[in-house]
Amino acid sequence: MRVRGAGGGWVRGTRGARAARVRASVRDECIDAIRPFRRGEGATARDRSQILNLLERLEDSNACSSSEIREQLQGSWILLYQAPVKCEEDLSAYEKRAVTVEGPFLSAFKPLTKGLFKTLSNTQNILVDEQKIENIAEFRVASRWRGKLNIAGQVVLGEDKGEGSEETRKAYVTFSSFSLSLEGLEDFLTIPIDKVLTFLGKDIPKGYLLTTYMDEDLRVGRGDKGSIFVAKRMNKL
């Protein structure tokens, strides 16, 4: 008599189905946990710690291979949540700005607007084939004027070192320019960051994104400045 699971097929199928149910349950828990905090705004240290624990469980359940991550990274993604992984006292001044929802550029405007500045959305367009990336932040000032900051640059996938290597799941980013638009004034200010910084003898902003979990429409990743983020796919580009 043939025993069920001989050869591993039935057993693997059962284990796979169980793992998929666990993964779906953890995914739902993560979405529920981050929902009250728009892109991480208002989350306390305790909230961030609890959410980090959930996201780490989701990362551990990732079933998307490194090759699939590389193939599916291209697209338009909207930020659902972002927070520092480190304790705030361990972050440098730049890291504190970099891991905020606004990022280092928009966060510089907040003191000037005396609390009137509000981020509306953060979108990331990744064009792997063209090696292009855009980080687009839409904002509003004084509940009246809407604007958009587009930080553009180059994205290059890390070297494919096989399934077990983090390098395979990294995307390296170099920012080259940013343009600021206000309602009725498209791209009224564009600054070539790379040229300005080269002229000043400063380093050009660089970093990487490490994808740690991906499914049909959700992506979890780590930034080199010490953040963890959750993004939802808007569409494939």
**Domain assignments of the chain as residue spans, ordered by start:** 64-235
Q: Each residue of 92-111: pLDDT tens digit?
A: 665 555 545 445 444 444 44
What are the pLDDT digits (tens) for 171-213? 999 988 888 888 766 666 677 766 776 777 777 778 899 999 9
- Does 64-235 carry CATH code 3.40.50? no
**9-21 pLDDT tens trace:** 433 456 778 889 9
Lowest mean pLDDT, pick from 6-10, 47-51, 127-131, 134-138? 6-10
Q: Which of 73-77, 131-135, 160-164, 179-183 has the lowest mean pLDDT?
A: 179-183
- Rounded Cα gap, residues 68 and 66, in angstroms: 5
**3-class SS string, the chain:** CCCCCHHHHHHHHHHHHHHHHHHHHHHHHHHHHHCCCHHHCCCCHHHHHHHHHHHHHHHHCCCCCHHHHHHHCCEEEEEEEEEECCCHHHCCHHHHHHCCCCHHHHHHHHHHHCCCEEEEEEEEEEECCCCEEEEEEEEEECCCEEEEEEEEEEEEECCCCCCCCHHHHEEEEEEEEEEEEECCEEEEEEECHHHHHHHHCCCCCEEEEEEEEECCCEEEEEECCCEEEEEEEEECC
> Nearest-CA neighbor of 80 among 30, 135, 133?
30
The pLDDT of residue 12 is 46
